[in-house]
């Protein structure tokens, strides 16, 4: 007698002591597929930190696919090479280019980003940067990265750096004049590592690439099987309208003027006042070193003068929000001579 227990996998016949045989279709536990990646904030955060936005999306897709996944961090250049050699099965995320399509399998688009070319306005203005880009001179890029086919063509002879931070340091140090980078990645790195210098970095106005990013797989039957299941999961989730699989751009906060309030010669006390017209005005004494956010500069600070007699500009009042000390949260007017920007 044969008893069949149905599941989904290979069939094994087990002889029993009673002379019976049971045909069992064994269902294996979900294999854990290794995904090679590397730090690329805000999309892929460093190992040990909360997942980045793109990694979270792919986790959802793999969950829907019925595949467990395990993240492993290696340089992208190495990851791509190992997938092309089929010594590793999967890596993420990658721009889709014709040259790479000949070497690996691509999933459908996981998310979309915009990439720009950035310059340092300490050394160049917008026009000079545009001229350098047209000549394709003094451009840097990160090893193993693509920025979309249009920017890749313009950076074919670029100087190569090992990672984004090293490339961005080169831009600050005037080793290069131009650096392509995904906008959200540039914003994240400037805020986390170069916050004091972030206002120096600007994008070229008319140079932009909008491209999708994908999971890549080795050109093997196993790679084809994973890509097929991932694409089906993407289609299912898209049809369901899940907002959690949509990656939002990481926008840099609007620049603000943070100041320390200081005393001035002849004015050993810092006063903040509630109005500028003198009607029902109240005055507050502010401690030396109080931190404030300038929310409205006096109009005379925003325009040039025809002479150098600027004492009145020092005495003019600008509006601030007090950020610490006994008057935290109050909106007050403070004389410009007391405002020292950080």
CB of 160 within 8 A of CB of 143? yes
pLDDT averaged over every residue in the chain: 84
Of 121-125, 228-232, 288-292, the range with the lowest mean pLDDT is: 121-125
pLDDT at 56: 92
pLDDT at 146: 78
204-233 pLDDT, tens digit per residue, is 998 998 889 999 999 999 999 999 999 999
pTM of the model: 0.66
Written as six digits, the tokens of 271 are 């006063």
Q: What sign for the dihedral angle of Cα 35, 40, 44, 49?
A: positive
pLDDT at 323: 86
DSSP type of residue 9: S
Residue 12 or residue 90, greater confidence? 90
- pLDDT at residue 196 tops 80: no
pLDDT at 29: 44
Neighbours of 241 (CB within 10 A): 8
- pLDDT at residue 73 tops 60: yes
CB of 260 within 8 A of CB of 338? no
129-185 pLDDT, tens digit per residue, is 999 999 888 999 998 787 877 788 888 889 999 889 999 999 999 999 999 999 989
CB of 63 within 8 A of CB of 32? no
83-94 pLDDT, tens digit per residue, is 999 999 999 999
pLDDT at 24: 34
* Beta-bridge partner residues of 118: 179, 203
Q: How far apart are CA 30 and CA 8, in angstroms?
A: 12
- pLDDT at residue 252 tops 70: no
Indicate the length of the chain as a whole number.
Answer: 342
CB of 320 within 8 A of CB of 331? yes
Ordered domains of the chain (ranges, CATH): 1-30 (no CATH), 32-253 (3.40.190.290), 257-341 (2.30.30)
């Amino acid at each position: 007698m044969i008893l069949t227990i149905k599941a989904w996998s290979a069939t094994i016949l087990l002889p029993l002591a009673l002379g019976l045989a049971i045909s069992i279709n064994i269902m294996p536990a979900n294999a854990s597929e290794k995904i090679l990646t590397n730090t690329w904030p805000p999309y892929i955060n460093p190992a040990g930190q909360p997942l980045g936005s793109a990694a979270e999306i792919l986790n959802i897709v793999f969950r829907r696919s019925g595949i467990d996944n395990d993240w492993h961090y290696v340089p992208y250049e190495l990851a791509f090479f190992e997938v092309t050699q089929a010594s590793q099965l999967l890596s993420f995320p990658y721009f889709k280019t014709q040259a790479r399509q000949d070497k690996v399998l691509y999933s459908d688009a996981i998310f979309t980003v915009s990439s720009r070319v950035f310059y340092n306005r300490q050394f160049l203005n917008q026009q000079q940067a545009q001229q350098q880009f047209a000549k394709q001179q003094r451009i840097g890029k990160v090893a193993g990265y693509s920025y979309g086919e249009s920017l890749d063509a313009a950076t074919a002879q670029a100087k190569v750096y090992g990672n984004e931070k090293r490339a961005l340091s080169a831009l600050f140090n005037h080793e290069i004049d131009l650096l392509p980078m995904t906008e959200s990645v540039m914003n994240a790195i400037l805020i986390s590592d170069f916050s004091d210098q972030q206002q120096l970095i600007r994008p070229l106005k008319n140079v932009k690439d909008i491209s999708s990013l994908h999971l890549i797989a080795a050109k093997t039957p196993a790679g084809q099987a994973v890509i097929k299941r991932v694409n089906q999961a993407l289609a299912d989730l898209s049809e369901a309208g899940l907002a959690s699989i949509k990656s939002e751009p990481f926008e840099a906060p609007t620049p603000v003027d943070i100041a320390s309030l200081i005393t001035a010669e002849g004015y050993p006390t810092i006063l903040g006042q509630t109005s500028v017209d003198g009607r029902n005005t109240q005055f507050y004494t502010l401690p030396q070193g109080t931190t404030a956010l300038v929310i409205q500069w006096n109009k005379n600070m925003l325009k040039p003068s025809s002479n150098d007699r600027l004492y009145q500009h020092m005495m003019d009042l600008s509006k601030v929000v007090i950020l610490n000390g006994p008057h935290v949260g109050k909106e007050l007017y403070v004389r410009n001579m007391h405002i020292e920007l950080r």
